[in-house]
């Protein structure tokens, strides 16, 4: 081997070592500094990954709604700490009365947003009566250390409020992140767990998790979707199949969805007459049969999503998780005959008359069920499921927030 080739080999090896990164960015420590001068000042904090409108939907929207409801019930100051993404001033437009505050600022006033994604060598100020709401496993992991800091400096600290929106260890294969996510379900600080469905709460009980206090609430139809359905209820259905397509989110089983459609295309005689639509995440269009393509429309506006569901006859939305998942609830409410899956204690078969819940979620079984649905197509053969608590109720967290207020001793 020539000296030049040898040097190149050594350089490549050194470069690979130098660029290897074994860190977990999400758990970059959230250092805090105790402010004795805050005295008995009460403040509710929420730790959120982002306030970027492009990424604030679903779980983050629910978390912020819960946090605001709890702050209203407590009647105290509030602060949002943003951990994962840079925060631009224009992101604050929908959060009335909030001002951007640098983490180095010790000022205490109502409705602060503190950008804290770039936090190496920095800290946030805390007092003995700061209360923290966490929204994902890594925010809980970091909040634990802040609560312990308060306890060390003040002798006691308020319990941590943990909004649990799924069983997050299973978001990852057996790994560091999986282990750390699971560790947040048995932390060394008193934790008030709030589950966003009874199915999820029961799953945790089934697996012998317990918390200082526990609450749960059931999902309700998004208010804007409800408004659209009431404003323009569909009068007929079309030969359209909508699927929840998120290739990057493995628990939504996009591969099974696509394989199911391909098998369905071989079982029916009129596949070419059906439009196949993928909503949720933009991806390339996929050939299903010689005459049938799954078209991706990505993330739709509320109005577009409502109109799309109103026109679709059948749907597939899978979720390998104890959480019910919102899309199948929404689709079925809009009259879509919706195929979803069971998971341990989760079975949404009785949710409404349009929900088909399969315990065997193989492509063969899904394709067979989908063929039964499409073979019975009738543009007038559908029911809008508006006579359900999911449709009629509004998300009220008053009783939960009142209970948490008592747990916090306020």
Instruction: Dump pLDDT digits (tens) for 136-147.
Output: 999 999 999 999
**Secondary structure element (H or E) that encloses residue 340, with its range:** strand 337-341
Q: Which of 81-85, 89-93, 147-151 has the highest mean pLDDT?
A: 147-151
Instruction: Please determine, for residue 321, whether its predicted confidence score (pLDDT) is greater than 80.
Output: yes
Predicted confidence at residue 133, as pLDDT, reads: 97
| Contacts (Cβ under 8 Å, ≥6 apart) of 220 | 389, 390, 391, 393, 394, 395
Q: What is the CATH number of the domain that holds 211?
A: 3.40.50.11090
Q: CA-CA distances (angstroms) from residue 331 to 166, 243, 349?
A: 20, 10, 14
Distances (CA, A) of 223 to 16, 311, 325: 51, 20, 17
Give Cα 270 to chain centroid, integer Å: 37
The confidence score (pLDDT) of residue 395 equals 84
Instruction: State the CB neighbour count (10 A cutoff) for residue 105.
Output: 13
Question: Could you give the 3-state DSSP secondary structure of residue 153?
Answer: helix
Task: Name the pTM for this structure.
Answer: 0.89
Q: How far apart are CA 39 and CA 117, in angstroms?
A: 28
Of 275, 309, 268, give the one whose Cα is nearest residue 294: 275
The DSSP element (H or E) to which 267 belongs, if any, is: helix 254-267
Does 279 lie in the same domain as 383? Answer: yes
Within a domain: 176: yes
CATH code for position 263: 3.40.50.2000
Q: Say which residues have a Cβ less than 8 Å from residue 146's Cβ, sequence separation at least 6.
A: 30, 32, 124, 126, 130, 132
3-state secondary structure of 33: strand
Provide the pLDDT for residue 108: 86
CA gap 362, 341 in Å, rounded: 10
112: its two tokens = 């602060």
Look at residue 85 in the predicted model and tell me its pLDDT.
81
CA distances (Å), origin 379, targets 43, 254, 398: 54, 27, 42
Mean pLDDT is lowest, of 52-61, 180-189, 194-203, 388-397, for: 52-61
Give the per-residue pLDDT at 15.
Answer: 57
Tell me: do 98 and 182 sit in the same domain.
yes
Rounded Cα distance between 406 and 31, Å, is 29
Q: What is the DSSP string of 66-129?
A: HHHHHHHHHT-EEEEEE-SS---GGGGGGSTT-EE--TT-----SSEEEE-SS-TT--EEE-TT
Domain residue limits at 378: 223-388
If asked whether residues 205 and 246 sit together in one domain, one would say no
Q: Look at residue 14 and tell me if it is in a domain.
A: no
Are 76 and 82 contacting, i.e. CB atoms less than 8 angstroms apart? no
| Domain co-membership, 36 together with 68 | yes
**Other Cβ atoms closer than 10 A to 18:** 7
**Domain end: 170, 203, 218, which one?**
218
User: Could you tell me the two tokens for 324?
Assistant: 């019910």
Assigned token pair, 275: 């439009």
Tell whether 13 is covered by a domain: no
Mean pLDDT of the chain: 92
Least confident of 86-90, 139-143, 198-202: 86-90
Angle at 297 between CA 355 and CA 275, to 5 degrees: 60
pLDDT, position 6: 54
Residue 332 contacts residue 355 (beta carbons within 8 Å): yes
CA atoms of 67 and 269, how far apart (whole Å): 52
The CA distance from 286 to 278, in Å, is: 10
- Among the ranges given (8-17, 236-245, 355-364), the one the predictor scored with the smallest mean pLDDT: 8-17
9 found inside a domain: no
Nearest to 244 by CA among 53, 58, 51: 58
Residues 314 and 377 in one domain: yes
**Looking at residues 335-344, what average pLDDT do you find?**
98
- Among 166, 191, 218, which residue terminates a domain? 218
Is the residue at 318 inside a domain?
A: yes
What single-letter DSSP state applies at residue 347? -
Please report, for residues 10, 228, 231, 286, the alpha-carbon distance to residue 225 in angstroms, rounded to integers and kept in the order given: 60, 5, 10, 28
Tell me what pLDDT residue 61 has.
84
- Look at residue 60 in the predicted model and tell me its pLDDT: 82
User: Do 319 and 208 share a structural domain?
Assistant: no
Are 316 and 358 contacting, i.e. CB atoms less than 8 angstroms apart? no
Count of domains in the chain? 2
The model's pLDDT over 27-62, given as tens digits with 9 standing for 90+, comes to 999 999 999 988 899 999 999 988 877 666 667 888
171 and 36 both lie in a single domain? yes
Helix 302-311 vs helix 326-333: angle between axes, to the nearest 10 degrees?
60
């Amino acid at each position: 081997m020539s000296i030049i080739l040898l040097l190149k080999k050594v350089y490549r090896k050194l470069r690979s070592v130098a660029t290897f990164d074994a860190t977990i960015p999400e758990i970059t420590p959230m250092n805090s500094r105790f402010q004795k001068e805050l005295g008995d000042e009460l403040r509710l904090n929420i730790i959120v990954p982002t306030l970027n409108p492009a990424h604030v939907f679903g779980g983050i929207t629910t978390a912020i709604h819960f946090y605001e409801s709890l702050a209203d019930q407590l009647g105290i100051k509030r602060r949002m700490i943003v951990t994962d993404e840079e925060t631009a001033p224009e992101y604050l437009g929908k959060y009335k009365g909030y001002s951007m505050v640098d983490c180095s600022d010790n000022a205490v006033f109502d409705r602060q947003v503190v950008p804290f994604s770039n936090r190496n060598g920095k800290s946030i100020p805390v007092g003995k009566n700061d209360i923290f709401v966490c929204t994902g496993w890594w925010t809980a992991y970091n909040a634990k250390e802040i609560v312990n800091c308060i306890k060390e400096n003040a002798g006691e600290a308020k319990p941590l409020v943990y909004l649990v929106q799924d069983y997050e260890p299973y978001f990852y294969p057996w790994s560091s992140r999986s282990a750390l996510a699971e560790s947040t379900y048995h932390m060394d600080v008193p934790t008030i767990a709030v589950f966003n469905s009874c199915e999820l709460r029961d799953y945790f009980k089934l697996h012998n998790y317990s918390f200082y206090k526990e609450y749960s609430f059931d999902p309700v139809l998004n208010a804007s979707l409800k408004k659209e359905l009431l404003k323009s209820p569909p009068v007929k259905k079309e030969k359209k199949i909508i699927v929840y397509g998120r290739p990057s989110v493995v628990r939504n089983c996009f591969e099974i969805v696509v394989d199911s459609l391909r098998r369905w295309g071989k079982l029916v005689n009129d596949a070419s007459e059906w439009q196949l639509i993928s909503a949720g995440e933009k991806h390339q269009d996929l050939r299903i049969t010689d005459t049938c393509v799954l078209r991706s429309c990505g993330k739709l506006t509320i109005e577009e999503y409502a109109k799309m569901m109103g026109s679709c006859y059948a749907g597939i939305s899978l979720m390998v998780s104890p959480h019910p998942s919102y899309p199948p609830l929404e689709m079925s409410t809009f009259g879509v005959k919706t195929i979803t899956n069971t998971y341990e204690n989760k079975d949404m078969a009785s949710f409404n008359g349009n929900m088909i819940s399969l315990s065997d979620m193989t492509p063969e079984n899904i394709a067979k069920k989908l063929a039964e649905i499409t073979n019975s197509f009738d543009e007038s053969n559908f029911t809008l499921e508006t006579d359900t608590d999911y449709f009629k109720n509004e998300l009220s967290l008053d009783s939960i927030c009142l209970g948490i207020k008592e747990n916090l001793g306020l």
